[in-house]
């Protein structure tokens, strides 16, 4: 993300690192606290409405992810990035609880470990690699900004894919 902001939006590295330091500390932390408070107030992740609320709150991730590859404004990019991390963190714990609740109690520790492994392997690990692999195609060419935007668009596509899985789980639960 910092590469995208510096290359495409021509923001200085000092400002970029300051923004991302503040964002990476505040958005996930406040998201977990807000999400935990909200889901506790509605009765926890065992409440029948919890999955519906996860879907509703998670759909906001689509709203914040969609403009990122096309943004020309640094403040829009900053706000969307902050909100995307906030929303994702706010539903991470309830979705994990809902998922683990679907597993036999004796298998929950293994399921939690496997879920965390998959989350890291398919979430955190490939993002910088994928962005770099796509953006690299434009290095040294006049299409450098296009490839950076294409890389960001590819990363934001994960939000759509995750939303489809959440909606599929919601619909499966309803029928």
pLDDT in tens, 80-128: 999 999 998 998 888 888 888 888 999 989 998 998 888 788 777 888 8
Euclidean distance between CA atoms 74 and 27, whole angstroms:
17
| Domain encompassing residue 158 | 2-174
Which pLDDT score, from 0 to 100, does residue 174 have?
59
Residue 33 has pLDDT above 70, yes or no: yes
Reduced 3-state DSSP string for 70-130: HCCCHHHHHHHHHHHHHHHHHHHHHHHHHHHHCCCHHHHHHHHHHHHHHHHHHHHCHHHHH
Higher pLDDT, 56 or 175: 56
- Is the pLDDT at 16 greater than 60, yes or no? yes
Domain count within the chain? 1
pTM: 0.83
> In the prediction, which pLDDT does 55 show?
84
| CA neighbor of 7 nearest in space, from 171, 139, 175 | 139
Distance CA 171, CA 175 (A): 6
Q: Which residue has the tokens 């923001």?
A: 11
CA 130 to chain centre: 15
The per-residue b/e assignment along 85-101, b for 16 or more CB within 10 angstroms, e otherwise, is bbbbbbbbebbbbbebe
pLDDT band at residue 46 using 50, 70 and 90 as cut-offs: confident
């Amino acid at each position: 993300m910092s590469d995208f902001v510096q290359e495409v939006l021509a923001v200085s590295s000092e400002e970029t690192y300051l923004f991302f330091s503040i964002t990476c500390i505040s958005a996930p932390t406040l998201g977990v606290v807000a999400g935990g408070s909200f889901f506790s107030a509605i009765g926890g992740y065992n409440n029948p409405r919890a999955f519906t609320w996860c879907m509703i709150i998670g759909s906001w991730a689509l709203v914040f992810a969609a403009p990122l590859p096309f943004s020309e404004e640094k403040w829009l990019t900053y706000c969307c990035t902050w909100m995307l991390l906030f929303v994702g963190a706010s539903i991470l714990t309830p979705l994990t609880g809902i998922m683990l609740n679907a597993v036999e109690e004796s298998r929950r520790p293994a399921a939690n470990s496997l879920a965390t492994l998959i989350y890291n392997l398919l979430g955190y690990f490939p993002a910088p690699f994928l962005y770099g692999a796509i953006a690299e195609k434009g290095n040294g060419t006049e299409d450098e900004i296009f490839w950076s935007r294409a890389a960001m668009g590819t990363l934001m596509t994960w939000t759509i894919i995750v939303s489809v899985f959440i909606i599929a789980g919601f619909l499966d639960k309803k029928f």
